[in-house]
A and B are shown apart, each in its own frame.
Chain A
């Protein structure tokens, strides 16, 4: 699956519109993930996962920052995310199915906060983008 020029434009435009809120959305997406899909909590035994947790907010910001980097290097995701890819392959080993769950929650969060932007076309582009990022992060697993 390849991101078309239109996809890249949609992703960049949308991401710019998030303003400084990307970090906050990252935290919210994580909260949604842990609430809707409690199995995902298994990867965070060292965290306080209660609502409003500072650790979840901080981790959400990390995730959002990584996505911001990915957007900035949308033409070379494997390069931009290489270190994170190694981390997920050799240390974190998050089951690939969970990337779909987090991606879904990211999309829901963005749709909630930016309904006007979240047209079907933009939705599709963002879904493809998160899919591409997930693929890179699981590409070195085996």
Chain B
């Protein structure tokens, strides 16, 4: 699966708006994740995951920053996220199912912040993009 030219354009054009609110979006996506899917909290025993916590904000910002790296190298996401891929494979070992959950929460968050932009086509583009990112982050697991 790869992104069409049109999908790349949508992602690049929406990215400026998203990155302007990067921290808020990252934090909110994680809050949604931990609220809707509490089992995901298992990977963060070392963090304070209560809504509003500084840890959540810092981690949310990290996640969105990494997505930004992928957007900037949208033609070579595997290259841009190589280190993160190793981190997830050898240290974090997040079960792949959780990437779908976080992707869902990111989409919901982006949709709620930018409803006018989040057309069906934009939704597809973002879903495919997050799918590709998830694949890259789990591809060295075995």
Contact = CB atoms under 8 A, between A and B. Distances in A.
A142 B139 contact: no
Contacts of B91: none
Contact of B1 (A1, A2, A142): A142
A2 B139 contact: yes
A1 B128 contact: no
A128 interface: yes
Binding site of B, secondary structure by majority: helix, strand, loop or mixed? Answer: loop
A11 B11 CA distance: 39
B43 interface: no
Contact of A142 (B128, B140, B142): B128
A82 interface: no
Nearest to B128: A142
Contacts of A1: 138-142
Interface string B102-142: 00000000000000000000001000100000000011111
A92 interface: no
Interface string A108-142: 00000000000000001000100000000011111
B142 A124 contact: yes
Contact of A141 (B1, B138, B142): B1
Interface string B1-39: 100000000000000000000000000000000000000
Nearest 3 A/B pairs, CB to CB: A1-B139, A139-B1, A128-B142
Interface of A: 1-2, 124, 128, 138-142
